[in-house]
Structure 1
Amino acid sequence: MENTFEVRTDLAVEEKESFPGDGGEISGVSLREWHRADSRIKMTEVKILDEKGSKAMGKPIGTYITLEADQLSLKDEDYHREVSKELSAQISKLLEGKDFTKPNFHVLVAGLGNSSVTPDSLGPRVLNNLQVTRHLKVQYGDDFWRGKPMPVISGIAPGVMAQTGMETAEILKGIIKETKPDLIIAIDALAARSVKRLGTTIQLTDTGIHPGSGVGNHRNSLTKESLGVPVMAIGVPTVVGAAAIVHDTVTTLIRALSENMETKGMGDFMENLNSDEQYDLIRELLEPEFGPLYVTPPDIDETVKELSFTISEGIHMTFLGQEVS
């Protein structure tokens, strides 16, 4: 029987983990993991090198860098500053070859999501904390900007289609036509497969973004091909599918049953079921109509608030060379 059960995730590192071994054996995909000696952050770089790797991973060709910081959900200013510095370093790494320090380099930051829905409000909240500078250039002209080694930064929170009646890509195309940015940084909330990654993982990629894809809501992609401008995406998982939690629960249940002699037979039976069959079984035991439910942590308000400062500071450190209070 073909295994068609798919747990949704926006994280390349989780796609990598779904393969046997350490994930480094996937053709067309390279993997590197490291910890900095002076950092409490685990780094993972997944590079999808060709179409074969793209098909295996279900993601576009490009580089995906993941920062995993277990204490990121805590209110610890020193730790968040450490994460911001690492985030800045990785943004700079993805921008290698681009002279983003020149005065007229224009960065447009797009805060995607719905500001009225907390788990989806990360993008707009980052925009609220962002120090924009383009208005200074517009108001005072090139004389004001001359001798000031900082890029032009502008920002937009385009909302969601239910609020505006327009696709995010349509809105950005109009802004791009008028303001002509050199780079777009799209900030978005993501969906994860694992509960442990909610609010503790930041993913950067140079492949752009596909709004809503992690929760099955496929919208127009925001990529260099669709917008005509390089697009970097920064995302944090804030929701996990209930189906993923159920699947993980089944795996844990199987392990517990198999370790107990009295229930070993039941554990072996369930272990021999494929993912589809396990999923169907647990749904029958729970509710006839389970539905596409997504779960978020109870402290998501504070988590998103802290993360919005951390990400905005990472952007400030990269392009303005400073922290902004």
Structure 2
Amino acid sequence: MDFFEELALEAAESAQKGVKIGEEKLSPSVRRLSFIAPSAFGEGGARGKGTYHTLLLEGDPLTDDRLLKEAADGVARSVALLCGGKRKRVLAVGLGNPSAVVDALGTECVKRLSVGERGRAYLATFVPSVFGVTGLETARVVKGVASQYRPDLILTVDTLSTRRIERLFHAVQVTDGGVVPGGGVANRREPISGEVFHVPVLSLGVPLLARLAPTELAVAPKEIDLLVPRFALALAAGVERGLFQ
């Protein structure tokens, strides 16, 4: 059973129909691969239509502060590009299980965002936890909060998985195609997407888990307890700049 959504780039790379993937160098250590999916794709149509950006990091995120600053800059550029202009009411949602270190990226990221008034904008954050803990569908909980708060943008942050070991904690995904909490086909939950919520949704994630074929063994780096807060800080910095500066 797959509890973590796979990098959309990998689903696109393995798609039967060719997907045109563009590449650009954002900084000395960060490349951005991007593609547009005109319709749902991936196994069982698990990935929503939209624009997908994947930042590939060259270096060691565990020790290289400069690399994470470049990553934050790349996140800011992608967020600004995909959010479609300034937003007045933003709801940032930290997905995942905060009690499991590998799944706590979303929680740790939104904790580092400055809530409240941001000039002419307002930012609120929310951590819904996971179905296995609450017994509630994450998407429905988020929809309930959104119906009261009425944001004009929902931003989610979650842990992702990868099938390529070299991308483990060396990539950042930013997309307006939404996200499926819990991620996998076997563990499919309701999606959080613009199509379902009727509000633009931006989803960010970092692959902190590698799924190794043919056994589908899930492996996390031994430094996971150090990587999560470092990436959480970088993502939060990128989101702040991309949305409000």
After TM superposition, the score normalised by the length of structure 1 is: 0.68
Give the root-mean-square deviation of aligned CA atoms. Answer: 2.5
The amino acid across from 2:111 in the alignment is N
> Could you tell me how far 1:69 is from its partner in structure 2?
0.4
Percent identity reads 29
Note the residue ranges of structure 2 that are not aligned, 5 or more in a row.
Answer: none
Distance in 2, Cα, partners of 1:153 & 1:107: 5
The amino acid across from 1:158 in the alignment is P
Matched, 1:31 2:21: yes
> Match of 2:187, SS?
coil
Distance in 2, Cα, partners of 1:9 & 1:70: 23
Which is helix-richer, 1 or 2? 1
Please, which of 118, 124, 130 is the counterpart of residue 101 of structure 2? Answer: 118
The amino acid across from 2:86 in the alignment is D
Matched, 1:133 2:119: no
> Could you tell me how far 1:303 is from its partner in structure 2?
0.8
Q: Alpha-carbon deviations, 1:7-49, whole Å to 9, x = none?
A: x9621222233369xxxxx45x33201213x431111002112
Matched, 1:151 2:134: no
Matched, 1:77 2:65: yes
> Match of 2:20, SS?
strand
Matched, 1:315 2:242: no
Task: Tell me if the contact between 1:191 and 1:214 (Cα under 8 Å) persists in the aligned partners.
Answer: no
Residue equivalent to 2:8: 12
Q: 1:75 to 1:229 in 2, by over 3 A?
A: same
Q: Alpha-carbon deviations, 1:37-88, whole Å to 9, x = none?
A: x43111100211246x678986322111000103252232222112111110
Task: Tell me if the contact between 1:119 and 1:296 (Cα under 8 Å) persists in the aligned partners.
Answer: yes
After TM superposition, the score normalised by the length of structure 2 is: 0.89
Distance in 1, Cα, partners of 2:13 & 2:196: 30
Q: Alpha-carbon deviations, 1:159-187, whole Å to 9, x = none?
A: 11122221111211221121110000110
Distance in 1, Cα, partners of 2:120 & 2:65: 26
Q: Alpha-carbon deviations, 1:183-205, whole Å to 9, x = none?
A: 00110001111111111100111
Please, which of 78, 83, 88 is the counterpart of residue 90 of structure 1? Answer: 78
> Match of 1:213, SS?
coil
The amino acid across from 1:160 in the alignment is V
Q: 1:215 to 1:117 in 2, by over 3 A?
A: farther
- Per chain length, whose mean CA-contact separation is higher, i.e. which structure has more relative contact order (CA < 8 Å, sep 6+)? 2
Q: Alpha-carbon deviations, 1:114-170, whole Å to 9, x = none?
A: 111111010000012111115xxxxxxxxxxxxx74421110111111222211112
Which is strand-richer, 1 or 2? 2
Matched, 1:48 2:18: no
Note the residue ranges of structure 1 that are not aligned, 5 or more in a row.
Answer: 1-7, 21-25, 135-147, 248-289
The amino acid across from 1:13 in the alignment is L
**1:193-232 aligned within 5 A:** 193-214=163-184, 216-232=186-202
Residue equivalent to 1:59: 47
**1:260-279 aligned within 5 A:** none
> Could you tell me how far 1:215 is from its partner in structure 2?
7.3
Task: Tell me if the contact between 1:192 and 1:241 (Cα under 8 Å) persists in the aligned partners.
Answer: yes
Matched, 1:99 2:82: no
The amino acid across from 2:22 in the alignment is R
Matched, 1:161 2:161: no
**1:181-200 aligned within 5 A:** 181-200=151-170
Please, which of 194, 211, 225 is the counterpart of residue 301 of structure 1? Answer: 225
Distance in 2, Cα, partners of 1:212 & 1:172: 14
